Chain A
């Protein structure tokens, strides 16, 4: 009966990006021992009309690394990207690129004088120019030299040199994005800014284009910032994920850290499916309907909300924690199973108290075996790894 829950997203994450293996080696945050900070953003604020879109953002990006700024629409992530690009100026705060200030109280360097590459959501290829002329737009070269460089750049994005003669509207969406990337790479920018470049593509094309872009940027060694509202894209693409909400960065960390140890409940739920349980925390052990769950360095005690990722909850015959299947949703490779848990076990040390959590929630987990989970079946459950606690919200 022991089975491994299979998470598609995690699977693709490992194969999508070339990165040092193992989660522990990816836990870099502001550790600049190996690479200096390339981009330094300090307390940046921006207001449009009556709305404060950015409410004080701090972010550092190390040389040659990839950072994803992820957040729901309207969170201010695109505004932040435009400030970095130099399309508009912050109301307050500083932005420094490679140690030199490009935006601050006394200084503002416009976009064309910053060494940044920019790829917009739909590629923004110039419709009146051929693919070749688009790529050569920012090059100081002319004639044969330009044509040669265009060929190299097309090769960099895995496109045949013959595409140079085509018009943007003759390309597929994925090809347009790759041409836009080649155009942005032409001037060898120090910093590449990607504004949701994959969101306009179909699901299949999106993954392939994302991989191709990621590979190209890695080979070119360009510091990259990706803005996206798609958490799976952010987690798979970047070395560092910055979660944006309501004009602030809620959390910055490696994909592994922000996913497994989110800073708050909203971040947890934004980055993926989360099982939230009522729990009673004493020391570093949280008691909930799934038994006692270890918690790393909790900041609160007593009545809390405990967060687990669904893939941490496994079906195991050797467990005493029971749940009854309520119903299931079949998705092909996996099935979402809704399970009614039993109320929190009361023993002599933890007498039932009206202030204490009750438990007995209904949770969703995923399982590959659709046959196993018929409604009414009783399952034995086990939790792998640590939980994360948040202050009690009810």
Chain B
């Protein structure tokens, strides 16, 4: 039933893409009000990058030289680079290995493992850090940084790779087997190369998270560019020093994007046939069943068991008293407030972009895609720094207002909304809209009753992911929130900084509980997205 519906919705050919290139009267780029709106949104999303570029240009070479070429920056560079170079391969190893065990071998309990390996994403990295510091108070340095990062971020590789593995056409593997390759050689020569895109995409996400993360590393006193920028800004409000560090950080992010797009090269996802395909072939583990299970148990214990155990331990130790504090309810409500408003604003802003990209491919939409790709890599600290500086200097009236915080959320999480909206809109063939118009509905009515209605589930999915991001956002919220504002994340941060681990535990639990359904949604969506 589902497959039939998807064939009616998805069937597309090259000839139709050509037709999609233009609609309406002489509108090569799309309806002009939408184009103007999109360009404004794009300009808005380029604010952080623009800020960094302008700040660097204004600083002058001497200032740059004194602020950038110093031992402190060398130390940060070393820390950040080693963090990325050690963490990313480990995440790829666990992510790809886990995905392969779950999707392609006779692993016992593979359905449960599939969910368990995605679940650590529901535990914010700084909550993970808090749990590990509770377990090993002396944790710190590069070892601590890598440990927490790997356990928090390997699902970012696991989820897309598992999705591709479960949808990969088994005919490819069967053909390889027919050409005389054994199961292991089939995996290395046929399956693994197909995972390149998903792995590279996941690795990019892990790297960007590593560059942007503040809370998890600050908690174990491991210095990276992001923690240094935050400290610099908080201690001295010294614009120039923080801005120069931010420039170096942004440079890193852009280099990562470049590296990832080089890895992608001309590779394409294997085309998954429209017809029903047989399930994936599973390799019999035999004697390897036990080591496989033990490895996954170790990962699950470290990534899920330890944080949940320590959050639980502090909750029990705190008893009912920690739940009675007034701040808990106000922070929860405030978090929900920001989450819902931010998700709504972000989705609304992303909609015209997604619409233009899907319905009017052309120079404008290509430009918008590029802008989105670049701005998606901007760390929260850079976004916050840019908005603080711009509002202080140019619009002091809105400095430290909720408006600016929501704007920061929109900048940070627009890519999440956009990815979902694009997928959703792509599922609504242009023919449906046209059919409605041929039935006498004006374009706007046709759009509302058909396209918008059908894209609504995707928009809701995107909004949910933005909500999840906002709930767990710490860096920008700390720097931009109006004075006295308490969210779950900031309050958790405040209490754990004061070593009130018992008081922080309810906040940790609430954040995990709010994140869990969204993580599941993300997991389910990734499986669907890989099939289409």
List chain A positions with a Cβ less than 8 A from chain B. Answer: 48-49, 73-74, 78-79, 82, 85-89, 91, 108, 110-113, 116-118, 120-128, 137-138, 168-170, 176, 180, 183-184, 186-187, 193, 200
Nearest CB of chain B from residue A250's CB, rounded to whole Å: 20
Contact with B8, one of A74, A78, A108, A176 (Cβ below 8 angstroms): A176
Shortest Cβ distance from B448 into chain A, in angstroms?
A: 13
Residues of A within 8 A of B1 (CB): 169-170
Flag B132-176 by CB within 8 Å of A: 1 or 0 each.
000000000000000000000000000000000000000000000
> Could you list 19 examples of A-B contacts with CB < 8 Å?
A73-B15, A78-B19, A82-B19, A86-B438, A87-B23, A88-B22, A88-B25, A89-B25, A91-B26, A110-B24, A110-B443, A111-B438, A118-B434, A120-B434, A121-B431, A122-B7, A123-B8, A124-B435, A138-B439
| Residues of the A chain whose Cβ atoms lie less than 8 Å from the Cβ of B25 | 88-89, 108
Contact with B454, one of A74, A85, A127 (Cβ below 8 angstroms) = A127
Contact flag A112-B435 (CB < 8 Å), given A48-B18, A89-B25, A127-B5:
no
When distances are taken between beta carbons in the complex, the residues of chain B under 8 Å from A200 are: 11
Check A87–B437 contact: CB distance below 8 A: yes
Report if A169-B442 is in contact (Cβ < 8 Å); known contacts: A48-B18, A110-B437.
no
Instruction: Tell me whether B234 is interfacial, beta carbon within 8 Å.
Output: no
Contacts of B4 in A (CB 8 A): 169
Residue on B nearest A172 in the bound complex, by CB:
B4
Enumerate chain A residues within 8 angstroms of B24, measured Cβ to Cβ.
Answer: 88-89, 110
* B414-471 CB contacts (< 8 Å) to partner A: 429, 431-432, 434-443, 446, 450, 453-454
Q: How far is the CA of A241 from the CA of B452 in the complex (A)?
A: 39
A87 CA / B26 CA spacing, docked (Å) = 11
Give 5 new A-B contacts, CB below 8 A, not counting A86-B438, A110-B24, A112-B443: A82-B19, A110-B443, A168-B5, A169-B2, A187-B440
Residues of B within 8 A of A186 (CB): 439
Neighbouring A residues of B22 by C-beta, 8 Å: 48, 88
CA distance A123 to B8 in the complex (A): 8
> Are B8 and A117 in contact, with the CB atoms below 8 A?
no
Q: Is the CB of A85 within 8 A of B438?
A: yes
Pairwise interchain contact B441-A126, C-beta atoms closer than 8 A: no
CA–CA, A310 to B207, complex, Å?
A: 68
B90 in contact (CB, < 8 A): no
- Please measure, in the bound complex, the distance between the C-alpha atom of A48 and the C-alpha atom of B11, giving whole angstroms: 22
Task: List A contacts of B436 (CB < 8 A).
Answer: 126, 137
Assess whether B21 is interfacial by the CB under 8 Å rule: yes
Cβ-based interface call for B9 (8 A): yes
Residues from chain B with Cβ under 8 Å of A86 in the complex: 437-438
Asked if B8 and A127 sit within 8 Å, CB to CB, the answer is yes
Instruction: Name the B residues within 8 Å of A88 (CB-CB).
Output: 22-25
Find chain B residues with CB under 8 A from A73 CB. Answer: 15
Minimal beta-carbon separation of B301 from chain A (angstroms):
44
Determine the residue in chain A with the shortest Cβ distance to B441.
A112
- CB neighbours of A112 from chain B (8 A): 437-443, 446
CB distance from A184 to the nearest CB of B (A): 7
Task: Give complex CA distance A128, B449 in Å.
Answer: 10
Instruction: Write out the residue numbers on chain A whose beta carbons fall within 8 Å of the beta carbon of B442.
Output: 110, 112
CA distance A113 to B435 in the complex (A): 13
Question: Contact: B429 with A124, CB < 8 Å?
Answer: yes
Closest residue of B by beta carbon distance from A195? B431
**Given the known A-B contacts A118-B438, A137-B436, are A127 and B443 also in contact in the complex, defined by CB atoms under 8 Å?**
no
Residues of B within 8 A of A137 (CB): 436, 439, 441
Complex CA–CA separation, A117 to B437 (angstroms): 10
Pick the residue among B7, B434, B441, B453 that contacts A85 (CB under 8 A).
Answer: B434
Which A-chain residue is minimally distant from B4 (CB atoms)?
A169
- Which residue of chain B is the closest to A91 with respect to CB atoms? B26
B431 touches A120 (CB 8 A): yes
A73-B22 Cα distance, complex, nearest whole Å: 19
The complex places the Cα of A118 from the Cα of B438 at a distance, in Å, of: 6
Bound complex: CA of A118 vs CA of B26, how far in Å? Answer: 22
* CB proximity of B261 to chain A, nearest CB, Å: 25
In the complex formed, the residue of B with least CB distance to A187 is: B440
Measured between beta carbons, the chain A residues less than 8 angstroms from B438 are 85-86, 111-112, 116-118, 184, 193
Q: B357 → chain A, closest Cβ, in Å?
A: 17
Chain B residue nearest to A186 (CB atoms) is B439
Complex alpha-carbon distance, A337 and B189, angstroms: 48
Measured CA separation A122–B7 after assembly (Å): 9
Q: How far is the CA of A176 from the CA of B437 in the complex (A)?
A: 19
CB-CB under 8 A from A108, the residues of chain B are 25
From known contacts A89-B26, A124-B429, infer whether A118 and B435 are also in contact, taking CB-CB under 8 Å. Answer: yes
Q: Which chain A residue has the least Cβ–Cβ distance from B427? A: A127
Q: How far is the CA of A111 from the CA of B443 in the complex (A)?
A: 9
How far, in Å, is A217 (CB) from chain B's closest CB? 16
B32 to chain A, nearest CB (A): 15
Instruction: Give every chain A residue within 8 A of B2 (Cβ-Cβ).
Output: 169
**Shortest Cβ distance from A171 into B: residue:** B4
Question: Considering the chains assembled together, what is the distance between the CA atoms of A73 and B16 in angstroms?
Answer: 11
> Could you tell me which residues of chain B, from 1 to 53, have a CB within 8 Å of some CB in chain A?
1-2, 4-5, 7-9, 11, 15, 18-19, 21-26
- Docked Cα-Cα span, A127 to B10, in Å, equals 12
Bound Cα distance A122, B10 (Å) = 10
Question: Given known contacts A48-B18, A112-B443, A122-B11, is B437 in contact with A169 (CB within 8 Å)?
Answer: no
A87 and B15: CB pair below 8 A?
Answer: no
Most buried by B among A78, A89, A127, A137: A127
Check if B23 sits within 8 Å of A138, measured CB to CB: no
Q: How far is the CB of B306 from chain A (nearest CB, A)?
A: 45
The 8 Å CB contact of A126, one of B19, B21, B437, B450, is B450
Check B454–A128 contact: CB distance below 8 A. yes
Q: In the docked arrangement, what's the CA distance between A222 and B453, Å? A: 32
Q: A89-B26, A118-B435 are in contact. Are A49 and B450 (CB under 8 A)?
A: no
Rounded to whole Å, the gap between the CB of A355 and the closest CB of chain B is 44
| Distance of A187 Cα from B438 Cα, bound (Å) | 10
Whether the Cβ atoms of A127 and B19 lie closer than 8 Å is: no
Select which of A49, A87, A91, A122 is within 8 A of B434 by beta carbon.
A87
Query: Given A108-B25, A120-B434, do A74 and B15 touch, yes or no (CB 8 Å)?
Result: yes
Chain B residues, CB < 8 A from A48: 18-19, 21-22
Closest chain B CB from A47 CB (angstroms): 9
B431 cross-chain contacts in A, Cβ below 8 A: 120-122, 124
Q: How far is the CB of B366 from chain A (nearest CB, A)?
A: 13
Give complex CA distance A128, B24 in Å: 25
Q: How far is the CB of B210 from chain A (nearest CB, A)?
A: 41
A138 touches B441 (CB 8 A): yes
Cα distance A74–B13 when bound, in Å? 12
B8 close to A169 (CB less than 8 A): yes
Whether the pair B8, A125 counts as a contact (CB closer than 8 A) is yes
Task: Give bound CA distance, A234 to B358, whole Å.
Answer: 33
CA–CA, A169 and B7, complex, Å:
9
Chain B's nearest CB lies how many Å from the CB of A313? 37
How distant is A187 from chain B, measured CB to nearest CB, in Å?
Answer: 6
Q: Which residues of A contact B26 (CB under 8 A)?
A: 89, 91
Q: Which residues of A contact B435 (CB under 8 A)?
A: 118, 120, 124, 126, 180, 183
Complex interface: chain B residues within 8 A of A110 (CB): 24, 437, 442-443
Complexed CA–CA distance, A117 and B439 (Å): 7
Distance in Å: Cβ of B31 to nearest Cβ of chain A = 12
Cα distance A122–B25 when bound, in Å?
A: 25
Q: Write out the residue numbers on chain A whose beta carbons fall within 8 Å of the beta carbon of B432.
A: 124, 126
Query: For the complex, what is the distance from the CA of A87 to the CA of B439, rounded to whole Å?
Result: 12
B15 near A78 with CB under 8 A, answer yes
In Å, the complex CA distance between A183 and B19 comes to 24
Assembly CA distance A111 to B24 (angstroms): 10
> Once the chains are docked, how many angstroms separate the CA of A37 from the CA of B306?
80
Q: Which of B1, B7, B439 has the most chain A CB atoms closer than 10 A to its own CB? A: B439
**CB-defined contacts of B437 to chain A, threshold 8 Å:** 86-87, 110-112
What residue in chain A is nearest B9 (Cβ atoms)?
A127
A78-B19, A122-B431 are contacts. A183–B439 as well, Cβ < 8 Å?
yes
A184 to B439, CA, bound (A): 7
Q: How far is the CB of A370 from chain B (nearest CB, A)?
A: 35
The minimal Cβ–Cβ distance linking A94 to chain B, given in whole angstroms, is 15
